[in-house]
Amino acid sequence: MNLSDLKTASQVNDERRRDPEFRAEWDRTAFARDVALRILRYRTDNNLTQTGLARQVGMTQSVIARLESGDQPPSIQTLARLSAGTGMEFDIRFSGGSVEFVAA
């Protein structure tokens, strides 16, 4: 098999999203993944380790690691602490039983 024969991550995800069970889990974790990406982007843009960010926001490294995993959505209180400690803004909307970021 050649490297050119391999599917891209996007192609694999597109195929997996056709599976109803996978799609349900993908949709359930969408907000958590968005938060995870924002935290990771903030950390890398500011050259912080998980421990460094945790100190900055008054949390533990393990909490930051869990947030970055994107498996579980953070609480409103957690988002408030992140915002207070970093200046990040989280504009969110609750609608139809889902949670999503609102474009700024």
pLDDT in 10s for each residue of the chain, 104 residues: 677 778 888 887 778 878 889 888 888 888 999 999 999 999 999 999 999 999 999 999 999 999 999 988 899 999 999 999 999 998 988 888 888 888 65
CB 75 within 8 A of CB 69: no
Q: What is the CATH number of domain 15-101?
A: 1.10.260.40
Domain boundaries in the chain? Answer: 15-101
What separation in angstroms does the CA of 64 have from each of 40, 54, 75, 77, 91? 9, 6, 13, 14, 20
As a whole number of angstroms, the distance between CA 46 and CA 56 comes to 12
Whether the model pTM is above 0.85: no
